[in-house]
Structure 1
């Protein structure tokens, strides 16, 4: 019989992990707290490292519900310093060089594609079944569900995101720390009609906006600024609050930002929080990956892409240390797999989490001297035709040596 693996969470990492486990001969089963058709969240940028993992699932990349990005443009929207800070065609260059570049996708459509693909491959997904706890014995792990039911497997992988109950079961509840930053976000049609598909960064006084194409006529956007603490809901504001934003001062921002705000289909608002770094991501037969293990702020766009890297390396280590998925893995074999996984992934993800936090702090500054200094620094960073392209290559090549098992 194939080794059974319970995957907790059918968000970003869970179904990708399940599909690759299925390819390797395991028996994955997914439990998901939400409904089959999620509507929370806005979008994400699939970058080269994440797309490389998704390409291991036949036909998936070709079905992505998104838009290939051709260029990046950076603007200052500070009233006293309105200007272009940088411009690069590096996304198109990446695609020519590697066959993949950057793809902006709407999160709900992407999640639907992942779950539909898993179901089509015969992977059971139990929606509206929240894992509320995990218990372990020497030979198996048991998940406890909000319905009172239980299920057991040889391995449990917690892919249940920022509010991971698997993490709490392993290491206890932790306080999340508000970073002082909030985000507004939306999806807007008919934005930037005169541009080829672009990723924009707009730098203001006390705010930063990122926007990118997610279809031929649609852009997603997120506006970060310093505000009082806001809940981490990732869901749409009520109608009156949305109208207040659409008609407020943000609707007057230049270079098309005001249009994004005025014409957003729906507007979400959420606080950005930090969580403590864990010293370990596993106990016994249970391991965490993705945001459950190393939650990050969104300022580098690497959250989902790092989750996919986690998936790849976990599959690689299963293949190396448990090459026969029809036999039950010993506790010793799983300890080796999970320990090597942590050794491979912890430093890299921690560096990116700290980098994302720093990026948020640098982008959102206030006052004439500070914003001028930031704008000049952005100009210097993006100077040179190949600077942005080399940064993207560096991110990819940091993992290159270990991508040997397909």
Structure 2
């Protein structure tokens, strides 16, 4: 049996593991965290990724657990005036998959259960990779080691696997800062827990809310600009007063949302970018998700593109007798699509946060629908 090591136990890594299991392999996931824990954030799963997850057996879980927004609203940040509305009621009929929103921890928990904790090696922070003629030696910070025939690096923006393979430049601060909080739904007006995605936009910033776990929680994500470097961490705490100052004078809905954030419940992190890669594979080692194509969150395709990668990876391994050939097949199948998503997502902030919000109303930019992003199906797309 071919030994496959997946470095990174996030959504992309676990989905890849499940896809490879479906293809007849028994991969192991090596995750640096000591255990899988609660990740306090909401997650959008667009139709392209939903089709992939459903092909792996998650249709019932998604239907039972996710919220499905009926509308996406883009509103003027100061006046609250509606600039655009996207009707999402016919997503499944139009694209073959629903548009879902879910607590990230719920999605991760489902993936862990499906993949199996027995297949996970926790507390394993990769330090070295040594590619030999017929296998790879992995070295970890705890001085342990492992051997594999194939390694898939799914270890995020600051991927150790990517840096070892290609020695690419360090990530650069994009000038964008993200703020996130989960707010109990009963602290907010009923508008916040309706089945919709509400995005207030203004010059250089915007604030999005949508409910998850029914109406129990409202996920808030704000995106702002900064000229200097901001600490890149999902666990950097911030004070609601800092966010309130940035959105002073905005619509009452925005003010209400920020005022409802618990004093200890707001997180802030800088968004970093890396140069696009034209090559993801070297010998017996390949990349997946943010390790290969990190992107800014303006089109909500970070997790969805990793899910696409994972589903296509599994199909390539099912189609090829030689796993090294399967990696090359996977690279050819995914590089162009991922580069497109990366480029469009990185441009999204400039489009969305125009100096004058009315520009967006009067000259609607290409969104996910117009760009054909939702039409892609990783479970059926031709692998040529």
- With structure 1 as the length reference, what TM-score do the two structures score? 0.84
CA contact (8 A) 2:308 2:378 kept: no
CA contact (8 A) 1:224 1:364 kept: no
Q: Does 2:380 match 1:397? A: no
Match of 2:107 in 1: 110
CA contact (8 A) 1:289 1:311 kept: yes
Q: Does 2:149 match 1:168? A: no
Output one character per residue of 1:271-326: Cα deviation in whole Å (capped at 9) or x when no partner.
1111122231111111001100111111110111111111122112212212xxxx
Match of 2:273 in 1: 274
Corresponding pairs, count: 375
Match of 1:325 in 2: none
CA contact (8 A) 1:251 1:257 kept: no
CA contact (8 A) 1:37 1:108 kept: no
Match of 2:250 in 1: 253
Would the alpha carbon gap of residues 136 and 178 (structure 1) be closer, same or farther in structure 2, given more than 3 Å must change? same
- Structure 2: distance between partners of 1:62 and 1:282: 33
Q: Does 2:147 match 1:186? A: no
Q: 1:150 aligns with which of 145, 155, 176?
A: 145
Q: 1:204 aligns with which of 192, 202, 205?
A: 202
- Structure 2: distance between partners of 1:196 and 1:95: 20
Match of 1:338 in 2: 327
Unaligned runs of 5+ in 1: 323-328
Output one character per residue of 1:329-356: Cα deviation in whole Å (capped at 9) or x when no partner.
4xxx61x333332222112211211111
CA contact (8 A) 1:251 1:262 kept: no
CA contact (8 A) 1:225 1:364 kept: no
Match of 2:70 in 1: 70
Match of 1:87 in 2: 85
Q: 2:342 aligns with which of 353, 356, 362?
A: 353
CA contact (8 A) 1:73 1:201 kept: yes
Match of 1:326 in 2: none
Would the alpha carbon gap of residues 264 and 92 (structure 1) be closer, same or farther in structure 2, given more than 3 Å must change? same
- With structure 2 as the length reference, what TM-score do the two structures score? 0.89
- For 1:397, what is the secondary structure of its paired residue? coil
- Structure 1: distance between partners of 2:334 and 2:10: 20
- Structure 2: distance between partners of 1:403 and 1:173: 30
Q: 1:375 aligns with which of 358, 364, 368?
A: 358
- Structure 2: distance between partners of 1:37 and 1:143: 21
- For 1:7, what is the secondary structure of its paired residue? strand
- For 1:350, what is the secondary structure of its paired residue? helix
Match of 2:289 in 1: 290
- Structure 2: distance between partners of 1:243 and 1:128: 33
Shift, 1:363, TM fit: 2.3
Would the alpha carbon gap of residues 378 and 140 (structure 1) be closer, same or farther in structure 2, given more than 3 Å must change? farther
More displaced 10-residue stretch of structure 1: 56-65 or 20-29: 56-65
Shift, 1:256, TM fit: 1.6
Would the alpha carbon gap of residues 249 and 232 (structure 1) be closer, same or farther in structure 2, given more than 3 Å must change? closer
Would the alpha carbon gap of residues 53 and 142 (structure 1) be closer, same or farther in structure 2, given more than 3 Å must change? same
Aligned Cα RMSD in Å?
Answer: 2.6
